[in-house]
Amino acid sequence: MRTDAHWKQIGLYPHHGICLPLSALRSRKSCGIGEFLDLLPLIDWCSSLNLDCIQFLPLNDSGDDPSPYNALSSCAIDPVYLSLADLPDKGPLQEELEAFIPFTQTQRIPILEVKRQKSKWLYKYYQRTFSSLSKTSVYQDFVKQHPWLETYALFKSLKDEYGWKEWKDWPLEYRTPNLKQMSEKRDSIDFQCFLQFHCFNQLSKVRSHAEEKKIFLKGDIPILLSPDSADVWAHPSFFKQDLAAGAPPDFYNPLGQKWGFPLFDWDAMRHSGFTWWKRRLQVVENFFHIYRIDHVVGFFRIWAIPAGKKPTEGFFVPSDSSLWPGQGREILEMMIDASPLLPIAEDLGTIPPFVRPILKELGICSTKVVRWERRWQGDKSYIPYSEYEPFSMTTVSTPDSDTLQLWWKKYPDESIPFAHFKKWTYQPRLSSEQQLEILRDAHHTPSYFHINLLQEYLALFPELVWPDPEDERINIPGTLLPTNWTYRFRPFIEDIITHKPLAEAFHKILK
């Protein structure tokens, strides 16, 4: 098995955990959004419950887009997650943190305003502390160890200068990076490098604390990047910019999906020895022990949509389906060999039959969403918990799907057979007892991993979730709703970790 060494670090036994957008957390001292060091008490809490895994949505810098899957850098971390209250040597800037309190009180995260205000505060902090920090060997070594950093910092500087226009709309001389630009933008470049230094420092502290508590952190690596990203700007030969990635029509999206991301030029990547991908994985090794491979089928083949065309007018790349298994295997083997982190694949949707056998052969877990894993006997369906492949992760929902409560109510064609399978009388509202039983089922499949969104557990107690179940939804794919990616947990982290009935529920679920 290709991942033998990776599994030795994690352990071939059942792992249990929670998944969350870091942004959705809030503590009594966080500044408008979940912050890195808000994770420290969450780690302690998970340890006390015998959970050993915390999964995050992507943490990459996504600029002015609330979606964490539209990254403008493959390596840079979003500084909006910096824990301002824990930065050293703040001096009088400490008092200005009170201005962030109203941002933390809202039901939805005012993410763009939080980013703007944190950036202003952080620039003052940079002016106060950079001169002394820049002289330290720790900072200088950090910059040297990350050759991608200054190019990203220059890109961010130019984005600011040109009012966040796409780089293709910048003056011609700035559409490719060069050394002259570096010298012209030195202060703004230093500011961006300074922010990344503190992001890496705080997130590394989180990883160290997790290791002390024997908690594995699982990151999320989006397969694709924004066309308006530092990577596409700096390495255009690695991307096919005349095609946009998406998904063909299916049951849930009859018109297909157009994501807008450029495709990788795998021939160019291969010719470079996959250096871009290897560097990307080396960066996340600083923070995580496991990573989610987003849209793993896209490594085998991906739906490509020409400019100006609809998703229904797309086609698969490569066009020769006989090449799909070999391409996917080659890329996955490269990723396994390039990093000690254990990969777990997101293989949902329409998946060619050869994908999962290859994942199993390589020792990569697939993903099992309970509501979609069905078998049929005559005209009746059942949920084959006991048939799950051990090399898998069981979950009851995803950040892009309805929560369990919403699914139960909105899709009776699916939930009624589920209720019959459980020998329940179907009612449109899933009771707390039923939700707990489904969660318990999901934690006792043969899978090696069992991870659910945190709000699925909070939903066991009405006081821990928003009154309208629709407000527990994180994202609705294919839409540009202002509520997408602005979800926030109703309770503060301090209230979650001290909620005794919730802790007792976890004990019932895991026993």
Amino acid symbol at 312? T
At 179, the pLDDT band (50, 70, 90 cuts) reads: confident
Question: 450 pairs with which residues across the strands?
Answer: 16, 394
φ, ψ of residue 267 in degrees (nearest 5): -65, -45
Coil, helix or strand at residue 498: coil
pLDDT per position as a tens digit, 308-365: 999 999 999 999 999 999 999 999 999 999 999 999 999 998 899 999 999 999 999 9
In 290-370 the beta strands, taken as DSSP E runs, fall at 290-293, 302-306, 315-317, 342-345, 366-369
* Cα 455 to the center of its chain, rounded Å: 16
Q: Write down the mean pLDDT value for the chain.
A: 95
- Whether cis (ω within 30° of 0) applies to the bond prior to 318 is yes
pLDDT per position as a tens digit, 154-176: 999 999 999 999 999 999 999 99
pLDDT per position as a tens digit, 449-483: 999 999 999 999 999 999 999 999 999 987 889 99
242-250 mean pLDDT: 91
Are residues 465 and 455 in contact, defined by beta-carbon separation less than 8 angstroms? yes
pLDDT at 254: 86
- Contacts with 269 (C-beta within 8 Å, 6 or more apart), sequence order: 238, 276, 277
Coil, helix or strand at residue 332: helix
Question: 381 pairs with which residues across the strands?
Answer: 376
* pLDDT surpassing 70 at residue 438: yes
pLDDT at 376: 65
415-435 mean pLDDT: 94
Kindly state the tokens that stand for 367. 């993903």
What CATH superfamily is the domain 4-373+394-510? Glycosidases (3.20.20.80)
Lowest average pLDDT, out of 224-238, 377-391, 474-488, goes to 377-391
